[in-house]
Structure 1
């Protein structure tokens, strides 16, 4: 009897140790950038637990992703998610983190939500380019006088770029909401909706407000990348308010639509411009001569700079487009065959200088031939 009881106790202890080992491994995995909820449901929890995440981020819930960034009222309790009245680790703004970025990464570090930094490296791949938050105050192409780099006074530590330079944490004075192509959870699991992505009308608190996300929004900081000649430096032409009174932007763009291969409709560059299964990668090709809704328009910044992918190709004579129409089935690079695999722009991309078609270190002529077919070259 005693021997049997001893064996049973040893077996039970072994199982307990094994269970604890598995549990600890699971908890450890939740802290890495790969994340535990990029393509699934957030588990519900108690007060200030995972249930707080589930309220905004579980697929199918009606609160579509704004979390503590708006909707304040006498009956809400969202301020405490980012602020503390006493013993703040931040020198300003009574934030719960030591810096603005640290506060944002309480939720947006990729372990408990839809991370925008770290997903590429977590899958063993190299990052080609990124906006380096809390690391630099130098803006490539930020000098409007000569097109070179410029130093800007950002809101991060020691004047470096940080999250709130591009995003408005309280949802105030944001750009016009637009449909995009982000799908960081499994296809169909998260509702398609119009959102302003909390993008500020005045990135880095520049003097001139920008109402639409497009070239003008990028050039709020990258002033030296404007269309044409800037201080003696020649730039590729881009559609902006410097070139036309009513420029195309991310919310309105001449894209390849339906079963045709010319740009017959002006709509959003993202997947929601058509439908889930037939509209990725249709905003990056411009047949020549320009026809339909592309006629008389220049490209916008985001037609060359976006998440890395294969966008398709033009026909040999350049008059027709063959976009690589694909359907994204999983979020944040879970499946290597996705096109694009990652959806993190403009935070970080696999592509050199955040170019839509490139390796991590260079781009090929394929990028140029998307709009400049060989028969049209002088």
Structure 2
């Protein structure tokens, strides 16, 4: 992280509308090989056959930007059975032995944003415990984002694809914007540990070129620890994987929605501590890269030739990253996949050189 002013943050905005990019045959084969692609009992298009919708309010009566949708009786019976089976496929690899205990409590639709997702609430009829998952249109850049999250972040993620449908698990946590509103004044709040985690999250996003991490696109998890608490920030929206042309859009520190996190880091951390936490995160990403090297290489080889952005954005990002690192290798990138591969080498090279038996494989 670097010293920035609020004026610099205010001027940063991602593209208003990102096009969808289809999954090519090589990516489909990769997904089949690694258990991500398979026949699903319901599709994204099926859910659009609702008859009406009503705005969904939160507990305080405020609009959530989601709408609860309703279907006619015949359509609802088909969807309810299919969506419970889909939940079983997502959670237990298709074990249907417990589906009689489950039901669909609600289907919500969000027209705000690019993916226009449906959120499915599944409830256990015995104890009323509930869970969610999401159905979205399959988009290649989002799938690459999910895979890179699974392979290079501290967390694993479950999703499935089939034709034009993408199904994602719900990632539990407190949305970043809600955390800022409700938890900064908590007696248990530890600003230093949150600042440290934001530095690490900022680094993770930049290294793998995940963009648009405004506070409502990530969540904060709170974990009790010895005599204190720990925080983990997790991305929940992967729509902007390697799409934008501006370098700063891949750095969460530059969004005005995240300014409170930035202020904490600037107030409680010195430059040496920030550099330490950045190095720690890059080292851990390097270890993850080494442990999954064959799968990462397979994914990047497919991404290398795929189209997931516009030529003018690729040119802009290559020039900005080249200037930032004083590294002309970026200028040879003709696709975002090539850019990600070059960027991983550039940002993780020092850490990879310190890991035994990886020098010649990754650092060259």
TM-score by length of 1: 0.25
TM-score by length of 2: 0.26
Considering fraction of residues, name the structure with more strand: 2
Higher-Rg member (1/2): 1
Considering fraction of residues, name the structure with more helix: 2
